[in-house]
Chains A and B, each alone.
Chain A
Amino acid sequence: MTTETILRVDNVTKHFGGLIALDKVSFDINKTEILGIIGPNGAGKSTMLGVISGYYPATSGKVFFAERDITRLPTHKIIELGIGRNFQASTLFMSLSVSENLFYGFHLSYKLPIWKNILRLPSAGKEEEELKQRGIQILDKMGLGIVKNEITRNLPHGYQRILGVCIALATNPKLLLLDEPMTGMNQNEIQTMLQLVRGIRDSGITIAMIEHNMTAVMSLCDRIVVLDHGQKIAEGLPREIQTNEQVIEAYLGKK
């Protein structure tokens, strides 16, 4: 099996004032794997995703995406390069319908120049129609086809979480960062989400995922990185992590 690195985190440190959220963390994400990032509360997992996607500038260290240094790029540029992300809380356009949410997500997919779009030329209308269709396709694939005309605010929590992933997919990512996609879901919904995440990976998209649900992480992830107090304390296959002394200590305390 060839392992090609898609994203390299190199010695990243992030300070929030006096608080050290991340302390010299390094790891790689390989192409088309599902990488789990786990750790106790406040370990710096979400900060890590924030640094990768450019929401927080790193204090020191570098992040490389497909061999390109993206550490100092603004978020929208990083998204444009092919990193999609969802949010911990349901961050959606609540007042819009589900299909409109997806349609808004295609901001980067317009190929025609902007003035053609503003003048509403037939070619621009056709392009918009195609994007809408692509949105419906994504929704169908993710099992949201039946609620595509609902107002997002009225959706149950599980659907909203899935919609968050759908919108991230609309930006055409090569690497998808998922921040706790399964929080607050029931068992049934978690199973659906597991299937969906596998489906996304099988379509050729690399996934890095923060998740607290250990059963889900262990069954889904190819590799796992464990953070604690801003430091990487372990990295390896799920079964290695399960028996790692340091990891058990971080979660349960010293014996």
Chain B
Amino acid sequence: MKQLFLRHARLFSFIIAVIICALIPLFVKSPYYISLLVVTIVNAALSMTFIMMLRTGLISMCVAAFWGIGAYASAVLTINAHLSFWLSLPLSAIITAAFALIIGYVIIRNAGFAFVIMTTVIGMLFVVAIGSISALNNYNGISNIPAPNTIDLPFLPAIIFDSKVAFYYLALVIFVIVILVMNAIYLSKVGRAWNAIGLNPRLAVSLGIDVFRYRLLSFVITSAIAGLIGSFYASYQGFIIPTAFNLFPKSIYLMVYAILGGVEYATLGPLIGSAILTFFPEFVSMTQEISIIIIGALLVLLIIFLPKGLLSLLHPKTAFAPWLKKGQHKNKIMPVSERPGEAKKI
């Protein structure tokens, strides 16, 4: 038993974490805090998609825009096409992925700075574009988006989405699925190819990796996930306005969550970052303007002293910025007996 646990330590701790999260509503009765948890989950999932693209060397500034495409697609599908939420959830993910495929095909060939600029433009353009479509009610947004349809279960009480708690559980289920899917991809051949591209694109090409295709794949997958989350968000909020999906502050914040937690921690980093930045302003009850200033200052300090994010404190040896360590030789020097010339004799 103990051995089984040790071999699958990550899986077991994940299951325990999910169970704890599932039990939270039993102790936290305030719907306000439950809604903060839902926001945390939404932000964490979006921030995770930012990290997934970052793995392949793509810094995307338009995560929020694809989130918005998903939300608007879902709103139109449920209100105008009268589809059930459960059908429009996967459909809006597919629609978002289709947008990402077309846009990505054009912009991903120019990775690097050009990509950052182009996604920035797309992130800003999205708001303007939606705002100018009168069928989508311009900048006033769409309201009265229906909640998910009731699920009737045999022998059990029906699941009705009339409370924050029900939405919290739905968010948790979606979040768990997203984490499982993302980690499965990270651990596969695809994840290794992404990592190779992110670490050294020149070398990745020389290994036979089609850099463009794999980058496009990450762009499409992450956008599909963002669209899925967008669909959930639209149904949860009941209304959406274009400015909610703007580059500033939304896409910037998604980036900040990832950096605060640590971009090397693809799942936990965004979760920690988004939890802290969602709950911190509430606990110290500050106004929006002041909290942004304080968060900004803390972030500057973080990048100076802990460039790899808060989670890097788990490995204190490498967590702190290199300039904080004095007189340490960065490279370990190999003993002479292990040099290549001697390697044959051993």
**Interface majority SS (helix, strand, loop, mixed), chain B:** helix
B54 to chain A, nearest CB (A): 15
Given contacts A93-B199, A114-B190, A120-B184, contact A143 B343 (CB under 8 A): yes
Within B158-216, the residues touching A (CB, 8 Å) are: 184-185, 187-190, 192-193, 195-196, 199-200, 202-203, 205-211
The residues of A with any CB-CB pair to B shorter than 8 Å are 53, 55, 74-76, 79-80, 84-87, 91-96, 103-105, 107-108, 110, 114, 117-120, 143-144, 146-147, 153-156, 158-159, 162, 167-168, 170-171, 186, 188-189, 191-193, 195
Q: Which of B247-255, B285-293, B332-340 contacts A (4 or more CB under 8 A)?
A: B332-340
Per the bound structure, the CA–CA distance linking A195 and B331 in Å amounts to 28
Q: Does B341 contact A (CB under 8 A)?
A: yes
- Does B341 contact A167, Cβ atoms closer than 8 Å? no
Closest to A196 in B: B340
Given A84-B206, A108-B207, A118-B185; A154-B332 close (CB under 8 Å): yes
> When the two chains form their complex, are residues A93 and B200 in contact, meaning their CB atoms are under 8 A apart?
yes
Contacts of A93 in B (CB 8 A): 196, 199-200, 203
Question: Per a CB cutoff under 8 Å, which of A55, A84, A92, A192 touches B340?
Answer: A192
B317 within 8 A of A: no
Residue in B closest to A191 when the chains form the complex, CB atoms: B341
10 contacts between A and B (CB under 8 A): A79-B207, A79-B208, A80-B208, A92-B200, A107-B189, A107-B207, A119-B184, A156-B340, A167-B203, A186-B341
- Within residues 300 to 346 of chain B, which ones have a CB less than 8 A from any CB in chain A? 331-334, 338-344, 346
Distance in angstroms between the alpha carbons of A85 and B207 in the assembled complex: 9
Contacts of B205 in A (CB 8 A): 55, 75-76, 79
Given contacts A107-B196, A120-B188, contact A170 B339 (CB under 8 A): no
Chain A hits for B211, CB < 8 A = 76
Asked if A117 and B188 make an inter-chain contact with CB atoms under 8 angstroms apart, the answer reads yes
Bound: A117/B192 CA distance, A: 11
A56 to B338, CA, bound (A): 38
Residues of B within 8 A of A91 (CB): 200, 202-203, 206
Q: A223 CA to B156 CA in the complex, in Å?
A: 81
Q: Which residues of A contact B209 (CB under 8 A)?
A: 76, 107
A120→B187 contact, CB < 8 A:
yes
Decide if A192 touches B184 in the complex (CB within 8 Å): no
List 4 additional contacts besides A55-B205, A104-B195, A120-B188; criterion CB under 8 Å. Answer: A93-B200, A107-B192, A155-B334, A162-B340
Is A87 a contact partner of B196 (Cβ separation < 8 A)? no
